[in-house]
Structure 1
């Protein structure tokens, strides 16, 4: 395989990776905690877009528990966003997707 062909393939893969990254910005995942008492929505990049709390999640005498639940839900959303990103990159680019995904 000549170097020109390799460079051309790399450029195509980079363009496709940029398209996937743009697509991830419009996709969303939902993380939750406390059996659904708290839900956190994030886009495919892991950026938090919203938080929903059910009224029964709020106990003014135990704010520490609420803080813990929010943290767990945020981490869950970010983990799901990371998994979505890896899945999309792998689906669109095959093995090279995982390598390129770390670059964006």
Structure 2
């Protein structure tokens, strides 16, 4: 493979990766903790919303609510990472999964 062809392939992959990144910004995932707390994040893992069930809020046990929030946030971020890897892999093949972790 000559250098010019390799450069064109790299540019094509870069354009595809940018398209996937734009798409991920519009996609959402929901992380949950015991069904009491839900956290919505976009495909980049940025938190967009938090929903609490009333029974999750016990003023005498704020530590439990903090734990539920943490679990739900981590769940949402993990799902966003998996979504990113899946979308990158689908669009770019083997190189996509490598780029997914870097972008």
Interval containing the TM-score (normalised by the shorter chain): over 0.9
User: Where do residues 90-101 of structure 1 align in structure 2 (5 Å cutoff)?
Assistant: 90-101=89-100
Aligned residue pair count:
103
Which runs of no fewer than 5 residues in structure 1 stay unpaired? none
**What TM-score, normalized to structure 2?**
0.97
User: Where do residues 27-38 of structure 1 align in structure 2 (5 Å cutoff)?
Assistant: 27-34=27-34, 36-38=35-37
**What TM-score, normalized to structure 1?**
0.96
1:43 aligns with: 42
Which runs of no fewer than 5 residues in structure 2 stay unpaired? none
Is structure 2 residue 69 aligned with structure 1 residue 70? yes
1:17 aligns with: 17
Q: Is the 8 A contact 1:33 1:39 kept in 2?
A: yes
Q: Secondary structure at the match of 1:40?
A: strand
Q: C-alpha distance in 1, partners of 2:97/2:11?
A: 16
